[in-house]
Amino acid sequence: MTDSPGRAVPEDASTAVGCLIAGEWVSDGRQADRVGPWTRSVVSTARQADERDVETALGYARRGAKAVARMSPAARAGVLERAAAEALARRDELARLLALELGKPVKDGRGEIDRVADTFAVSAAEARRVGGEVLPVAGWARGVGNTALTYRAPVGVALAITPFNAPANLLAHKLAASFAAGNTTIVKPPPQAPASSAAVVRLLLDAGMPPEAVQVLHGGGPVGAALSAAPEVGVISFTGSPGTGAAVARAAGAKRLVLELGGNAATIVCEDADIAAAARICAATGYSNSGQSCISVQRVYVHRSRYQEFLDAFTLAVEKLNVGDPLDAATDVGSMVDDDAAERVVSWAHEAADAGATITTGGRRDGATVIPTVVASPPPDARLVREEVFGAAVAVRPFDDFDDVLTTCNDSRYGLQAGLFTHDMRRIVTAWRELEVGGLIVNGSSNYRLDHVPFGGVKDSGFGREAPRWMIDDYTVVKTLMLRGISLFGDQEDAR
């Protein structure tokens, strides 16, 4: 494929990536190229795993699980802390990889690597806190004179299947929490970001993570299906589309699953909101990473009394976003993952316009780059409203009644996060109680996340929660020790 006019390709843009199997980076075998959506050139080449690789990786993981579990929490935390420092040291290098492979603006890439460092640091702290309980069994007659203890034991082998939109930080979440819990992990990265994903794994290996703790298998659906179905795997953490998530669940059978499957997030702007701030925040968070975020602002509902004011301010703010070369530090909006994704977003916007909506800005693409698009008053059954657009287009609709708009927001098969701009505490509490979502952001848009706070959804947005503390619960099993005739509470004389 030839380069697009005016889009210079760095001389060292292409990166070769192997599979990490049984402690070795394996490069010989079938290869797959990743063509950058901005440069239109090959930016990385990944060695593809086959059936034998899957078998080898599973056997090595099974054997290595006990070695990883025997590491002290202090040793695991030390690895994660060193990796956090290393991530910050390599921030520009890793952000550049994200820009080349995905078209993500380099400033967003730097922000993602900052989050990787935070995720490693938080996981290190949580590694030190994995413990158990002394249970109050003497409160019941049959428990008098006895003691029950619990502790959280590693599952053994975890499988992490990661998406393209935030390949570094979402891999960090899955892999760091799994290691903090004492597991070994097999990683299946997204085909669109093999080099970025491998670079995150190398951070941990360079920080002292033992080879038994992680393996990386690049490949398509068959590799993911084979790993998901393998009896050696005790827990699967998957982030991606609902369709692929359902396929993973079918292959997994009776396994622990943490599924984050996307959304079509709503943000509500009430009549008492700071309209200028709401418009600015929605513009910044609706188009970051070209809208390719499961919590990206997609539906904005504005009280009719402030609707036109918001729409004008929002459209103006969107038009001020810098669109262009993702390697340019001034760029706000780079490319989407590929041309097909960009074409889908634009077609959905025009489909809504054909049904009576107004495109106030954007509505076109340049290759894989969607010019930030605002669609005013689309019909409620438009795909731009009903489905997950996962792109640089935002729908804006008026509402009249607060209770009604909560019902409208809930009229979706998704339920990940929502935003609410208001200073009315009664509305805040009502929305927190009534909205069918995993998280509510007040005086912010749906697109806000702290990496140490539980994150996840309901309905078709999946189940389970990400953030190291909550993920460790999924990556461990509770083991109970019952001491008959031994009491910590001085009640032996009543032992039954």
Active site residues: 260, 294
Question: Is residue 375 a contact partner of residue 359, using CB atoms and an 8 Å limit?
Answer: yes
CA-based R_g, the chain, Å: 24
The enclosing H or E element of 160 equals: strand 157-161
Whole-angstrom distance, CA of residue 55 vs CA of residue 323: 45
- Angle at CA 409, nearest 5°, toward 453 and 404? 130
| Residue 388, φ and ψ in degrees, nearest 5 | -85, 115
The enclosing H or E element of 262 equals: none
Whole-angstrom distance, CA of residue 427 vs CA of residue 139: 42
Nearest to 163 by CA among 327, 390, 476: 390
Pairing mode of beta strands 439-442, 266-269: unpaired
Whole-angstrom distance, CA of residue 395 vs CA of residue 389: 10
User: Which residues 6+ apart lie within 8 Å of 128 measured at CB?
Assistant: 73, 74, 77
Question: Which structure tokens are listed for 244?
Answer: 């692929």
Pairing mode of beta strands 235-239, 256-260: parallel
Whole-angstrom distance, CA of residue 481 vs CA of residue 474: 20
| Residue 476, φ and ψ in degrees, nearest 5 | -130, 165
Q: Say which amino acid occupies 121.
A: A
User: Which residues 6+ apart lie within 8 Å of 433 measured at CB?
Assistant: none
Burial profile 335-361: b = 16 or more Cβ within 10 angstroms, e = fewer = bbbbeebbbbbbebbbbbbeeebebbb
